[in-house]
A and B are shown apart, each in its own frame.
Chain A
């Protein structure tokens, strides 16, 4: 039902861990998601004005670029944004038809496009902009966490992951069960201080972002044992005159 499934202890929480430290903004996750899903569970992902002014389409994954901090001390950060598969998603509870639902078995948030009326209230309710309205079909669509890939036995086991994860060249996307503290993704989150987006809103996103490593200060001193200071050297070439280098 649109009401959320009762939280089960130890229940699976499938989600993504996105490493902002290594994402180079190549858009692989965005376009691979697009090509998988335009023929996938929520097919198609239409594009308006594909060859004219005002080109725009339905994408489940969009990569922003930000600059954090000023000048050379700052950092450019590429920031992929998609559904976070919240534990308590308002997009589900506001849905008047039950089209929007959260699966009890793995926590994936989906839309049943057969019964969606396209009221778009879920898009208003999502603070993260994860909802993608297909105004061609008149229904809401969204990231499915590639539900038609991750359980698909016709796909070799290592590739049974969301398309954005298998394609990512920078190893910046990881998929797994964030409900299991011993899973690889949970451990990665623990090691790297993975964080939730806007936790203060209380939707308990499952996806986590790994922060960029802090750049060392540009004016840090030289490492220790860095050799003699230039001022201590009078004629540097002379030092080599008596040096014999054999093979």
Chain B
């Protein structure tokens, strides 16, 4: 699948934003992150900025962005619509949470924060399900995809929270959470890759054409001699060597190293913790961009079979 930059950025940014919002909503009432208005403005603000930037970026992928509002109507069947609805429903509590934190209106901050956390989780789950529900793309239609989105959002959100809390010298709890999630992300991604690598293709040129009863099916001529939308969008291919390198970058740079750094930050505390957390969050986001790019680039769509592009890729 074509790793469109707008979607890669969108899913990473909004995942991190919702992750950050989720942890703020959950940890602040428990007093596990700084309770100051300043921290709240920064953390919730950053979360909302990331979410908004992500959503804006996603509209760049639309052919008719001015009609984006229509996407809210089909929540009964469409995960994309549900994502939109969840995103929209998350804004009021998030706004209230933001206001409550500024004004230290704690009676409001608690439910608003928890509601924001629920909304954030729901939104990211919907995002994950958009991909996980697509059967023609076997690398997406996988039980670890939606949990992955949740985990990676939570991880990157926690890393950001640790970074911000580090400025207040209180990175320990978010850093600990992020370290654990980072490790979890590493394990999940490794497990995911080994499973999708081992799984058979869901279809072959023989089954896609129904001509396997004659023998091996090979393309002779495509319908048109130049490329087209489907090929650009769904027959994107990445070289094995390049993919392996990116996998190492994503799993080590995006999960393992940040997790270690965050663990160190948790232990070290102080200014060092802040520096480590900044480094970890930056690495995590960069790694997730690589992970998300790969998520697309390595995904194969059955339609490519009609063009003779090997789906096992």
Identify the A interface with B (CB < 8 A): 1-4, 20, 30, 54-56, 59, 62-70, 73-77, 79, 81, 90, 92-99, 115-121, 123-129, 132-135, 137-140, 195-198, 200-202, 209, 211-212, 214
Q: Which of B68, B84, B230, B307 has its CB near the most chain A CB atoms (within 10 A)?
A: B230
* Chain B interfacial residues counted at CB < 8 A: 59
Closest B residue by C-beta to A79: B209
Asked if B81 and A96 make an inter-chain contact with CB atoms under 8 angstroms apart, the answer reads yes
Can you list 12 A-B pairs, Cβ within 8 angstroms, ordered by A?
A54-B227, A79-B209, A90-B135, A96-B74, A96-B78, A96-B84, A97-B81, A117-B63, A125-B136, A201-B135, A202-B135, A209-B210
Chain B 37-63: CB-based contact to A (< 8 A → 1; otherwise 0): 000000000000000000000000111
Q: Which 8 A-B pairs have the closest CB atoms?
A: A118-B63, A138-B63, A69-B215, A62-B223, A129-B303, A127-B136, A68-B214, A96-B81
B190-237 interface with A by 8 A CB criterion: 202-203, 205, 207-224, 226-230, 233-234
Asked if A124 and B220 make an inter-chain contact with CB atoms under 8 angstroms apart, the answer reads no
Q: How far is the CA of A30 from the CA of B210 in the complex (A)?
A: 21
Q: How far is the CA of A40 from the CA of B13 in the complex (A)?
A: 41
Asked if B209 and A126 make an inter-chain contact with CB atoms under 8 angstroms apart, the answer reads no
Residues of B within 8 A of A62 (CB): 223-224
Residues of B within 8 A of A201 (CB): 135-136, 202-203, 302
Asked if B67 and A65 make an inter-chain contact with CB atoms under 8 angstroms apart, the answer reads no
Closest B residue by C-beta to A20: B211
A77 is contacted by which of B81, B211, B223 (Cβ under 8 Å)?
B211
Residues of B within 8 A of A79 (CB): 209, 211, 306
CB distance from A114 to the nearest CB of B (A): 9
Q: How far is the CA of A98 from the CA of B234 in the complex (A)?
A: 23
Closest A residue by C-beta to B76: A3
Residues of B within 8 A of A140 (CB): 63
Residues of A within 8 A of B210 (CB): 195-197, 209, 211
Asked if B227 and A56 make an inter-chain contact with CB atoms under 8 angstroms apart, the answer reads yes
Residues of A within 8 A of B68 (CB): 117
Asked if B233 and A77 make an inter-chain contact with CB atoms under 8 angstroms apart, the answer reads no
Q: Is the CB of B151 closer than 8 A to any CB of chain A?
A: no
Chain B 19-50: CB-based contact to A (< 8 A → 1; otherwise 0): 00000000000000000000000000000000
Q: Is the CB of B80 closer than 8 A to any CB of chain A?
A: yes
Q: Is the CB of B65 closer than 8 A to any CB of chain A?
A: yes
- Assuming the contacts A77-B211, A96-B70, A123-B233, asked whether A55 and B63 have C-beta atoms less than 8 A apart, the reply is no
Closest B residue by C-beta to A129: B303
Q: Is the CB of B243 closer than 8 A to any CB of chain A?
A: no
Residues of B within 8 A of A128 (CB): 302-303, 306
Q: Is the CB of B1 closer than 8 A to any CB of chain A?
A: yes
Asked if A30 and B223 make an inter-chain contact with CB atoms under 8 angstroms apart, the answer reads yes
Asked if B214 and A124 make an inter-chain contact with CB atoms under 8 angstroms apart, the answer reads no
Q: Is the CB of B134 closer than 8 A to any CB of chain A?
A: yes
- Assuming the contacts A79-B209, A121-B130, asked whether A115 and B67 have C-beta atoms less than 8 A apart, the reply is yes
B62-106 interface with A by 8 A CB criterion: 62-65, 67-68, 70-74, 76-81, 84
Closest A residue by C-beta to B213: A211
Residues of A within 8 A of B130 (CB): 94, 121
Closest B residue by C-beta to A130: B303
